[in-house]
Amino acid sequence: MDLTIKEIAEVLGSSQTSEQKITNVEFDSRKITTGDLFVPLKGTRDGHEFAAYAQESGAIATLWSEDVSEAPAGLFVFFVSDTKKAFQKLASYYRQKLAPKVLAITGSNGKTTTKDMTEAVLAQKYQTYKTQGNYNNELGLPYTILHMPETTEILVLEMGMDHAGDLTLLSQIGQPDAAAITLIGEAHIESLGSREGIAKGKMEITAGLKKDGVLFIPVDEPLLSPLIRPLNQKVVTFGLKEGMVQAEVLNTTKQSTEFSIDGKNFLIPVIGSYNVKNALVAYSFGHYFGLSNEEIAAGLKNFHLTKDRTQWSKAANGADILSDVYNANPTAMGLVLDSFAELTLPGRKIAVLADMLELGKDSKQMHRQMAKHIGDSLAEVYLYGSDMEALYQVLKDSNKDVFYFTEDRKKEMIEAIKRDIQAQDSVLLKGSNGMGLAEVIIALQEK
């Protein structure tokens, strides 16, 4: 890391003069190594309580917003009024210092997959660094910036939001050269009130977008149309068979999807037309930064998904498991159910669906609407969680085997699934992360 004690002091208005370099910046004291700067943040516990432990682990400096007399001896101390804001300010400075091109990606669904695709594409030509895991909020984004290698030429930032104003802050810290919105769904509708509110929230990604920058948006999202009119930056639309950048899906298998753009064929190692839309964003970023179709195709073909996003694995008895359990909203669940239905697979198709959280007062109705995505190709459906009862009431009298389990019956559900599935079956698991379907996957994999 290319930051000195003196440099940090100048950024934060402190008075240190040492030219000693900082090795890294960490806000988790358990990750501290020799030469690090510790950032104590206030959460369930006050991070200041762990400064001594950070020092023992090798920290040489710390931010400090508590009483001056309580500051740890033996550390370079940067006195600030708010450690989180100071952390964010330091990240903004570091981005300016290294001066990579910055890409920003947001959306109700697909932003992590799109980030992974985009980084893989741009890595064909540039030194790239991307948001690791789901570090996409007011802490994770500055952490990502401060952890990028000094050689980074393009920084790919995933930007998440829970409330109005979140993306304004992240975009102003990141100052993107180009940005993309994958889609407008229902994620966080409880706090944003409506899909219109979500669309406005996603458009905040333009708050820090460079004046000569570009914004990529889905052509089939009418809620964005009135919001882009005041923009001075270039707007490019993408979509399946429509938009300024278009793709046509050619073939889908269990392991991949093939599609074409302007007569050139591409392949991605994931299922679903919705993932082709994500690939269109990566393609657009690639062309924006001068990559050839061949370079883009190589990146897309070999990109690696962040864990728990539409991943295939094996159950202990040989059945195939399609896991998409990191998060869920009606748009995302409908898309993956439709894509699963389109696949030609041996044996039966079984779906295990858990509650979609944070949908607000219309949650039960949104769960009921999933019935239109449960077609004849699904042999059995397991429903789990209090809101999934609404879907069960719709499906229980159908000619399909449907099983419903409350949240206190997870072990019972797991045992039922294990007894039921056969070696030739394929099992889709989809639900919000808070519902713990990852435990079900582990149980199915255990011999």
Strands 311-314 and 320-324: antiparallel
Binding residue positions: 107-113
Rounded CA separation 359/129 (Å): 33
Q: Is 19 exposed, middle or buried (0-12, 13-18, 19+ CB in 10 A)?
A: exposed
**Neighbouring C-alpha atoms within 13 Å toward the C-beta of 404:** 15
Crossing angle between the packed helical segments 410-420 and 437-445, to the nearest 10 degrees: 40
- Sort residue 360 into left (φ over 0), alpha (ψ -120 to 50) or beta: left
- Contact in structure between 110 and 275 (CB atoms under 8 Å): yes
- Contact in structure between 71 and 2 (CB atoms under 8 Å): no
- Contact in structure between 291 and 120 (CB atoms under 8 Å): no
- Contact in structure between 125 and 291 (CB atoms under 8 Å): yes
Query: Six-digit token pair at 253?
Result: 């298998």
Element (H, E) at 307: none
Strands 61-64 and 37-38: parallel
Buried b / exposed e across 148-186, counting CB within 10 Å, b at 16+? beeebbbbbbbbbbeebebbbbbbebbbbbbbbbbbbbb
Helices (H), 188-312: 189-192, 195-203, 225-228, 273-288, 293-301
DSSP 290: T
**Integer distance in angstroms from the first to the last C-alpha of the chain?**
45
Query: Six-digit token pair at 30?
Result: 């358990």
Binding residue positions for ATP: 107-113
Query: In a 3-state reduction of DSSP, which class is residue 331?
Result: helix
Question: Of 268, 293, 428, which is closest to residue 353 (Cα–Cα)?
Answer: 428
